[in-house]
Amino acid sequence: MRYLIIMTLAITASINTIAAQTNQNNPKQNPYTLVYEGAITENVKGKVNIHPVSYKLNGIDIAANVYTPANYDPTKKYGAIVVAHPNGGVKEQASGLYAQRLAESGFITIAADAAYQGASGGEPRHTDKPAFRIDDIRGMADFITGYAGVDANRLGVLGICGGGGYTLKAAQSDKRFKAVSTLSMFNSGEVRRNGFQNSQIATIQERLKKASEARAQQAAGGEIIYAGVASITDEEIAKTPTDLYREGYQYYYRTHAHPNSTFLYTMSSLLDLMTWDATTNMDLLTQPLLMIAGSKADTKYMTDDAFSKATNAKSKELFILEGGTHIQSYWKKEYVDKAINKLTDFFNKNFESETAK
């Protein structure tokens, strides 16, 4: 089967540019290719350490990083946190930052690349189906609960952006997660269906037709058609009207670029994405829930919607990062610090209640 990515030359140029920018952002290339501020560059005894791991999920090789807390002792028992990355993101970006910071708070954490994405296996590349992303989260739970030192009864989950929407859905049925949290939650199904801020409702049927045609072409052994943004100029970034996408392009293509990260996804994935919604069956979510969003995030309406539907959560709290936007919660120290402090308190409190049972 032949694979064709739309705008092949543009994509190749984009990857080269991203690699160059990553090197520029990290003069001494990070040995783990982490691109966030304060990232681990070497494992030092007595400090938080990073452990690249791989495992199989549905026959696909999954690439992940496990972070262990300072003075980690595999004979002791620790709470563990699964961290799900944003759409288009990889484990070396925001999910890695939060995994590392939560390990600094004493948890064992894992951040993995979704199947078909990043350094994980799976073909066609950049397939983005909700069922796969949800199982990625369960797969991280499968792996980390068997890791030395992890107390399987103290397992939490944090989903960032699109990973937040998939986390809500995973936690509705997977009760291994004793505490559930999201950061800048993004409802991928709603946005792929209706457009961001409901801007594409008039074209739903047209886009479903294109996705159907892409699926037919793919099934017949033809070229794979991709949707999304392959590359973007500084001028185009500056003219982007919404904070989410303008700051997102800056984050993913400039300041925190990683060669495995992309805004592309298979057009045929829309058949699944457009008929899915992160907030259906929210009444099934019974665990404690913490949802974090910036007060200025233009995606906050999605967090508000999901939060209101979590009617059976054991407890729930909406924590606002005053002045923060969606993308700033990924990297800006002021907001990351506040989010980590809140998450640490949330997980410790709820893990203690599990231990007391």
Dump the DSSP string for 332-353: -HHHHHHHHHHHHHHHHHHHHH
Q: Which residue has better confidence, 228 or 43?
A: 43
Query: What pLDDT score does 230 carry?
Result: 86
Phi, psi angle pair for 183, to nearest 5°: -130, 120
Return the amino acid letter for 237: I
**Residue 88 backbone phi and psi in degrees, to 5:** 80, -10
Q: Please check whether residue 92 is in contact with residue 120, taking contact to mean a CB–CB distance below 8 angstroms.
A: no
pLDDT at 21 over 60: no
Q: How confident is the model at residue 17 (pLDDT cuts 50, 70, 90)?
A: very low
Long-range contacts of 169-174 (CB under 8 A, 24+ apart): 169/130, 169/134, 169/278, 170/134, 170/137, 170/138, 171/285, 171/287, 172/281, 172/282, 172/284, 172/285, 173/284, 174/137, 174/138, 174/141
Given this model, what pLDDT does residue 356 score? 64
What local confidence, expressed as pLDDT, does residue 80 receive?
Answer: 98
**Per-residue pLDDT averaged across 21-25, rounded?**
42
249-277 mean pLDDT? 96
Given a cut of 50, whether residue 9 has pLDDT beyond it is no
What CATH class does 8-355 carry?
Answer: alpha beta
Decide if 183 contacts 164 (C-beta within 8 A): yes
d(CA 191, CA 48): 37
Model confidence band, residue 29 (pLDDT cutoffs 50, 70, 90): confident
Is the per-residue pLDDT at 24 higher than 80?
no
Nearest to 279 by CA among 111, 155, 130: 130
Q: Tokens 């640490």: give the residue.
A: 344
pLDDT tens per residue across span 207-242:
999 999 999 999 999 999 999 888 999 999 999 999
Query: Has residue 93 got a pLDDT over 70?
Result: yes
Is residue 341's pLDDT more than 70? yes
Tokens of 241: 């009207």
Predicted local distance difference test score (pLDDT) of residue 241? 94
Does the pLDDT at position 3 exceed 50? no
Label the pairing between strands 226-227 and 265-266. Answer: antiparallel
Contact 101, 340 (CB under 8 A): yes
- 144 pLDDT band, cuts 50/70/90, is very high
Residues of the chain with pLDDT > 70, as a percent, come to: 91
Give the chain's mean pLDDT.
92
Res. 115: pLDDT tops 50:
yes
CA gap 307, 313 in Å, rounded = 10
Instruction: Give the pLDDT confidence of 270-319 residue by residue, as tens digits.
Output: 999 999 999 999 999 999 999 999 999 999 999 999 999 999 999 999 99
Residue 10's pLDDT band (boundaries 50, 70, 90)?
very low
Domain ranges of the chain: 8-355
